[in-house]
Amino acid sequence: MHRRLVFTEPVSRAAVWSRRLAWFSCAVLMLSLLLVRLGEPSIEGLAPVAGAYVLVLAALGLAILAFVRIWHSGHRGVGMAAGALTLSLVLLVPAGFVAFRLATRPALTDVSTDIDDPPAFSRSQAALTARAGRVPPDPPPESRRLQRRAYPKAVPILLEVPAEAAFDLARRAARGLGWQVLETVRPGGRSGTGRVEAIARGRILRFSEDITIRVRPRVDGSRIDIRSASRLGSHDLGANAARIAAFADEIELLMDSR
């Protein structure tokens, strides 16, 4: 009786380690995002996230190396390498989105519907306490000109309702969007101007953005201006303009439901 010898090709070590590294980098990335979300917001606090993405890139490179090795040697492990490659690419999607926004959006951190006379942020004790004493500075004229070219749809909201009704709409819209309303001042006084101060927080990293809404009476109704400013970094990735657009859409929905 003859014994049959079966030779099995070994599993590619690069494939094995690419899968391990991909899952490890996934765990590190999730943990780093959780730490950023729970900690004090800062640019320096994003360092663990950057480190996690270095591991993701290493896993991606190792997966590609595994494919090359398997192609030349005939070793097993295609499934492992494919899984590592897929997971790495999925984890890189958010980073790719950020890179795309950096390349396609202007470097702004403050966007307003009134470029010539932006709404001023409140300096009341309540607003300063909620904002840790910070008052967003007024951007230079070149930033406003850049905003005009980049976001031509960021314009005042004109309503054919009295300023009191527009103020109520603005306050309801801010709360409907999940913003933390800090302070409200109803229209009145010599100027007839009303104001809503709020803070918006990101869904993932929970970074805070400062918002002020100004309501002014007009002869045929009222005008709402909104200003949104980021606290961190030198680029908002288009978030402030998107927030203003969401506010305008919310006002329109509230008007339609009246």
> What does pLDDT average to over the chain?
89
Query: Alpha-carbon distance 229 to 243, whole Å?
Result: 10
Burial of residue 113, with CB atoms counted within 10 A of its CB: 0-12 exposed, 13-18 middle, 19 or more buried: buried
Q: Which two tokens stand for residue 136?
A: 């967003």
Helices (H), 39-124: 47-73, 78-104
**183 φ, ψ (degrees, to nearest 5):** -160, 145
Provide the residue type at 194 as one letter.
G
Please determine, for residue 151, whether its predicted confidence score (pLDDT) is greater than 90: yes
Query: Alpha-carbon distance 206 to 200, whole Å?
Result: 9
Query: In the prediction, which pLDDT does 28 show?
Result: 94
pLDDT tens digits, one per residue of 27-55 = 999 999 888 888 777 777 788 899 999 99
Query: In the prediction, which pLDDT does 119 show?
Result: 94
Please determine, for residue 6, whether its predicted confidence score (pLDDT) is greater than 50: no
Provide the residue type at 128 as one letter.
L
pLDDT tens digits, one per residue of 221-248 = 999 999 999 988 889 999 999 999 999 9
Please determine, for residue 2, whether its predicted confidence score (pLDDT) is greater than 60: no
State in Å, rounded, how far the first CA of the chain is from the last one: 92
Q: pTM (2 decimals)?
A: 0.83
Of residues 19, 31, 86, 25, the one with CA closest to residue 53: 25
Average pLDDT over residues 106-121: 93
Query: Alpha-carbon distance 93 to 107, whole Å?
Result: 21
pLDDT tens digits, one per residue of 124-136 = 998 898 888 888 8
Query: Alpha-carbon distance 82 to 68, whole Å?
Result: 12
Structure-model confidence comparison of residues 243 and 188, the more confident one: 243
Query: Spelled out in words, what is the top-level CATH class assigned to the domain 110-256?
Result: alpha beta
Query: In the prediction, which pLDDT does 9 show?
Result: 66
Query: In the prediction, which pLDDT does 3 show?
Result: 54
Provide the residue type at 115 as one letter.
I
Q: Which two tokens stand for residue 124?
A: 């009341």
pLDDT tens digits, one per residue of 69-103 = 888 887 788 889 999 999 999 999 999 999 999 99
